[in-house]
Structure 1
């Protein structure tokens, strides 16, 4: 099964997450099929905190990929930001 989930990067106490499309059997930070965005929870000021390629996410969902709960929440934020 293909899932859309977060892959952790960054350093200790400074997390950075890539939003990736990956096989469910692959470990969290392992190989991915495609990187569709990122999430930076510690973004300050003018730094960009969230970027998602919504067209690619729609494609992957269309072919059966399932997003994790956290990614679903982030996608709703990104869609609201794009609509505004």
Structure 2
């Protein structure tokens, strides 16, 4: 089963996240299937890029989306980010 979730790649006290598609039971720091975007919570403008088409593709194939990614997608679609 594939899940879509955040992978932290930032330094200590400077978080930066990639939105990835990965097998559910794999280690989060391991190899992932596809990078679907990124999220920077530190910037005031909340620098975010999300590939909605690919997320829709993976969700149609049965991928689960984490709660945090779901909220990011909603904000991204409403242009709040």
1:38 is matched with which residue?
38
1:20 and 2:17 aligned: no
Superposition deviation, residue 79 in structure 1: 1.1
- How many angstroms apart in 1 are the aligned matches of 2:51 and 2:9? 19
RMSD after superposition: 1.5
Partner of residue 74, structure 1 = 72
Residue correspondences, number: 80
Cα distance, 1:44 vs structure 2: 3.9
Runs of 4+ aligned structure 1 residues displaced above 3 Å come to none
Secondary structure (helix, strand or coil) at the match of 2:79 reads helix
What's 1:4 paired with?
4
Once the two structures are TM-superposed, the CA of residue 5 in structure 1 deviates from its matched residue by 0.2
* TM superposition score normalised by structure 2: 0.92
Q: Where in structure 2 are there 5+ consecutive unaligned residues?
A: none
Could you list the runs of 5+ residues in structure 1 that have no partner in the other structure? none
